[in-house]
Structure 1
């Protein structure tokens, strides 16, 4: 059964490591054999891979788009996924295990997809940390208000 891939105008897609850009109108292409396919919107820029989960995602993406690096990357990806599993729990832990299983079976696109909820959770955690730091910094800047001294 062929994979029907409908591309938006000017959408980028990578098929077996070859980057393609669609023309100015919507197109559907059919991929009739097994191929590594990833849309440009699912790709992460290397500069954006700044957190543990996004770095693992970027390595998986690299394994998907650059076959020649897979043999080297797969053990590193599995090691880093194991480290993520030690940090995250709950639904994130399940997603990490799913990603690791997809890596083991060579399905790198599904491994990336399984890791997206972990990245979202990680982002939310960092946002909470930053909000807490900002709140604490706000308290530290107004000590007179907390001691009952009236501001002029």
Structure 2
């Protein structure tokens, strides 16, 4: 079954190891075959990978688009180890990603890695909010 893709002017798509940039008009095409495909909104770059979960997503993306996914396993598992040490509650998502990678379901692993990024964002947002609450509860020692 073919995948139908519509691209906005200037939008990019990765097919296999190639980046395709659309011209100045909207385009629609069908892709047949088993090459990995990523739309621009799902592409992570090294510059954007500024958190542990984003770096994990990038490693999984490299595995998904590479002819040799195993070449990225060492980096991936090192990143996973660091993340789980810092946030053990992320283990269920990490375990799911690991199982998908080990069974060769890279696209599904990438989608789970996106969920890991959302989970990380929630953790960071909650930590910031909790820190703000603690600061606002501090007594004002100057007026005492």
Report how far residue 53 of structure 1 moved.
1.6
Unaligned runs of 5+ in 1: none
Q: Which residue of 2 aligns with 1:5?
A: 5
| 2-structure distance, mates of 1:11, 1:54 | 22
Within a 5 Å distance, the mapping from 1:125-140 to structure 2 comes to: 125-140=123-138
Paired with 2:128 and 2:113, the residues of 1 have a C-alpha distance of: 23
Computing the radius of gyration from Cα coordinates, the structure with the larger value is 1
Give the TM-score of the pair, scaled to structure 2.
0.79
Alpha-carbon displacement from aligned partner over 1:63-108 (angstroms, at most 9, x marks no partner): 233435x22212442454466567125xx71x33332222123332
How many Å apart are 1:46 and its aligned residue? 1.7
State the Cα distance separating 1:117 from its structure 2 match.
1.8
Aligned positions, number: 142
In 1, the alpha carbon distance for the partners of 2:65 and 2:125 equals 30
Q: CA RMSD in A?
A: 2.6
Instruction: Report if aligned partners of 2:54, 2:117 keep a CA contact under 8 Å in 1.
Output: yes
* Alpha-carbon shift at residue 18 of structure 1 (Å): 0.5
